[in-house]
């Protein structure tokens, strides 16, 4: 087998997603501990920005800085090299999460057993479904009095529109939580609360749960209940089907308690067995397979340097095919520039280090002086562009007002770089005389204002406007689209790639415009 193929087979890259507080950070940390990547709990920084008051900017900034280190975490486990891509759970950073999901081959979804499916869970799963990303579910906090496991599974199926298949089954819940039974491996694992980190492999092999041995471990009452429920599970759920999971239709489910380090090993062991290795990916020209000899990759995230004296940024590149090498020239396909990177970094747990080479399924950090935009592709010369990194319509729109005309240049440069980073979307009207900034949360406007002032010395205000949605418009009927653009000129603006969007302020508004212009297609995202 070639070295390239061996390196590909070893790698897994996944995103970890949840509604805030379900236990994503705790689970990530425990996964890293299992992988031996960190030595003690408490090392993974919480990648959160919960507060919204103006005085909390510095806090946001600090957290944003911290999240550079924590947003990609690599670790080795058994024969695999695993990359976790962390995603901010806070809804104001949802765009960032959506984009991160373009770089993964699968996800682990964390659900709180007390709260069940929550708002962000739904939104994130919509994105996973759209992209057919394979999903594993970890139902967390089983040490708390949560919902009945059957009800939880039904809720997940119904609300998230995905079939489920429990691979482990909980014994009791909350104060009666006694452990989990692995339905396929026929192993019993008993629960003892353990918030410290201890890696234990104490399974009890139990081929037949009908045997009296089970009673010895968990008592007769719990044993009977487990037998009944296990029978019901086998009756209700189809056997686990790998291909359905790999195509995103079936989610295997595990139960556990991240904080107690319980149920993590089962999750991880099954993950490396079933989760897909680096997959082929679509470009505007053709499908690129990971085992092609020539390097290709794309940028899915950009982080600004927090130090205003160093304007460089780190672009996160997912390697898609071939071997990446330090100091070799690659083609930046959007600009046709040749770029080489003297100090590409890898992200192992909480440490960054220089890498000489990288393989499909790796994420590398590239120092960038302003060449990259999110979605950019690097190749060895072939002109192609990875697709599937769309912009979604923002939910809040504000008009940018320059409050310091002496600093107009700085403001323009600043806003354009923040847009490249994906902090917000910019829509331009009347040849630049009006600029609308769109985000998914109020918090971004605060971050933008703060960063424009601190990094570019430019000051601005945001004036509220009534738009709530941007739809990208196309049509085969040029006359009709021109008519729409003329008759509703105050609603039309252009995105960063100069494509027209229609801005609307209600469902009624867009519905009636659609009715009046039947040949114009209104797209929900920037890619179609």
- Contact call for residue 141 and ligand GDP (CB under 6 A): yes
User: For ligand GDP, how many residues bind (rule: CB under 6 A)?
Assistant: 18
Instruction: Give the residue from 9, 69, 82 showing the smallest Cα distance to 290.
Output: 9
Residue holding tokens 């002496």? 406
- Contact call for residue 118 and ligand GDP (CB under 6 A): no
Q: What span, in angstroms and rounded, lies between the C-alpha atoms of 104 and 134?
A: 10
- Contact call for residue 366 and ligand GDP (CB under 6 A): no
Q: What span, in angstroms and rounded, lies between the C-alpha atoms of 189 and 182?
A: 8
Residue from 9, 20, 62, 163 touching ligand GDP (CB under 6 A): that is 20
Cβ-contact 43, 325 below 8 angstroms = no
DSSP state of 349: T
Quick one: tokens of 464?
A: 């509220």
Cβ-contact 318, 300 below 8 angstroms = yes
Quick one: tokens of 219?
A: 């008592």
438 is in an annotated binding site: no
Q: How far is the CB of 44 from ligand GDP (least distance, A)?
A: 9
Residue from 18, 120, 425, 513 touching ligand GDP (CB under 6 A): that is 18
For ligand GDP, which stretch binds (CB under 6 A), given 199-207, 255-263, 284-292, 507-515? 255-263
148/231 with CB nearer ligand GDP: 148
- Identify the bridge partners of residue 110 per DSSP, sorted by sequence position: 18, 138
147/449 with CB nearer ligand GDP: 147
259/267 with CB nearer ligand GDP: 259
20/457 with CB nearer ligand GDP: 20
Question: Dihedral of CA 356/362/363/368: which sign?
Answer: positive
46/186 with CB nearer ligand GDP: 46
Binding residues for ligand GDP restricted to 284-313, rule: CB under 6 A:
none
Contact map string, positions 37 to 76, toward ligand GDP, x by CB under 6 A: ---------x------------------------------
CA-angle at 430, arms to 477 and 446, nearest 5°: 115
Instruction: Give the residue from 149, 107, 158, 133 showing the smallest Cα distance to 255.
Output: 149
For ligand GDP, which stretch binds (CB under 6 A), given 141-149, 231-239, 290-298, 436-444? 141-149
Contact map string, positions 71 to 110, toward ligand GDP, x by CB under 6 A: ------------------x---------------------
53 is in an annotated binding site: no
Determine how many CB atoms are found less than 10 A away from the CB of residue 32. Answer: 24
Classify burial at 234, counting beta carbons within 10 Å of its beta carbon; exposed 0-12, middle 13-18, buried 19 or more: exposed
CA-angle at 115, arms to 109 and 117, nearest 5°: 45
19 is in an annotated binding site: yes
Q: How far is the CB of 355 from ligand GDP (least distance, A)?
A: 28
Q: How far is the CB of 464 from ligand GDP (least distance, A)?
A: 30
- Contact call for residue 218 and ligand GDP (CB under 6 A): no
- Contact call for residue 257 and ligand GDP (CB under 6 A): yes
Q: Provide DSSP, 128-148.
A: HHHTT--EEEEEE-TTS----
Q: How far is the CB of 162 from ligand GDP (least distance, A)?
A: 20
Determine how many CB atoms are found less than 10 A away from the CB of residue 241. Answer: 14
- For 41, list phi and psi in degrees, rounded to 5: -65, 155
Q: What span, in angstroms and rounded, lies between the C-alpha atoms of 338 and 352?
A: 25
26/345 with CB nearer ligand GDP: 26
144/246 with CB nearer ligand GDP: 144
- Contact call for residue 143 and ligand GDP (CB under 6 A): yes
- Three-state DSSP string of 194-253: CCCCCCCCCEEECCCCCCCHHHHHHCHHHHHHHHHHHHHHHHHCCCCCHHHHHCCCEEEE
Determine how many CB atoms are found less than 10 A away from the CB of residue 521. Answer: 15
For ligand GDP, which stretch binds (CB under 6 A), given 137-145, 164-172, 343-351, 502-510? 137-145
Annotated binding site: 18-25, 86-90, 140-143
Q: Which residues of the chain form contacts with ligand GDP (CB under 6 A)?
A: 18, 20-26, 46, 89, 140-141, 143-144, 257-260
């Amino acid at each position: 087998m070639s070295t390239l193929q061996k390196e590909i087979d070893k790698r897994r890259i996944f995103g970890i997603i949840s509604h805030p507080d379900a236990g994503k950070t705790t689970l990530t940390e425990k996964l890293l501990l299992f992988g031996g990547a960190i030595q003690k709990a408490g090392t993974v920084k919480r990648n959160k920005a919960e507060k919204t008051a103006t005085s909390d900017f510095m806090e946001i900034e600090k957290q944003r800085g911290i999240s550079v280190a924590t947003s990609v975490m690599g670790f080795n486990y058994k024969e695999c090299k695993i990359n976790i891509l962390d995603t901010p759970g806070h809804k104001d950073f949802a765009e960032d999460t959506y984009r991160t999901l373009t770089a993964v081959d699968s996800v682990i979804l964390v659900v709180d057993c007390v709260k069940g499916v929550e708002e962000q869970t739904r939104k994130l799963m919509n994105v996973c479904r759209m992209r057919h990303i394979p999903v594993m579910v970890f139902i967390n906090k089983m040490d708390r009095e949560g919902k009945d496991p059957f009800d939880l599974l039904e809720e997940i199926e119904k609300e998230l529109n995905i079939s489920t298949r429990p691979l482990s089954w909980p014994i009791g819940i909350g104060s009666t939580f006694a452990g989990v039974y692995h339905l396929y491996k026929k192993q019993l694992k008993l629960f003892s609360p353990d918030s410290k980190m201890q890696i234990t492999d104490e399974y009890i092999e139990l081929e037949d749960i009908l045997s009296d041995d089970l009673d010895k471990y968990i008592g007769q009452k719990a044993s009977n209940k487990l037998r009944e429920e296990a029978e019901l599970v086998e009756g209700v759920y189809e056997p686990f089907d790998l291909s359905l999971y790999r195509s995103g239709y079936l989610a295997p489910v595990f139960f556990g308690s991240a904080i107690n380090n319980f149920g993590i090993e089962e999750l991880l062991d099954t993950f490396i067995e079933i989760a897909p290795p680096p997959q082929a990916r679509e470009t505007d020209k053709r499908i690129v397979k990971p085992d092609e000899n020539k390097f290709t990759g794309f940028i899915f995230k950009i982080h600004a340097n927090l130090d205003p004296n160093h304007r460089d940024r780190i672009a996160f590149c997912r390697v898609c095919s071939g071997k990446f090498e330090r100091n070799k020239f690659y083609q930046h396909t959007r600009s046709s520039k040749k770029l080489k990177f003297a100090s590409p970094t890898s992200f192992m747990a909480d440490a960054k280090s220089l890498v000489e080479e990288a393989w499909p399924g790796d994420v590398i950090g590239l120092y960038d002086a302003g060449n990259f935009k999110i979605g950019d592709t690097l190749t060895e010369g072939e002109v192609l562009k990875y697709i599937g990194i769309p912009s979604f319509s923002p939910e809040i729109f504000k008009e940018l007002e320059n409050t310091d005309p002496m600093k107009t240049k700085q403001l323009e440069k600043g806003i354009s770089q923040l847009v490249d980073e994906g902090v917000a979307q910019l829509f331009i009207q009347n040849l630049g005389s009006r600029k609308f900034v769109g985000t998914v949360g109020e918090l971004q406007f605060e971050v933008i204002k703060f960063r424009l002032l601190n990094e570019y010395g430019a000051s601005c205000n945001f004036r509220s406007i009534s738009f709530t949605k941007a739809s990208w418009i196309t049509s085969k009927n040029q006359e009709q689209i021109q008519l729409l653009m003329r008759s509703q000129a105050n609603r039309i603006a252009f995105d960063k790639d100069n494509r027209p969007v229609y801005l609307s302020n209600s469902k009624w508004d867009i519905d009636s415009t659609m009715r009046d212009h039947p040949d114009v297609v209104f797209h929900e995202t920037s890619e179609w």
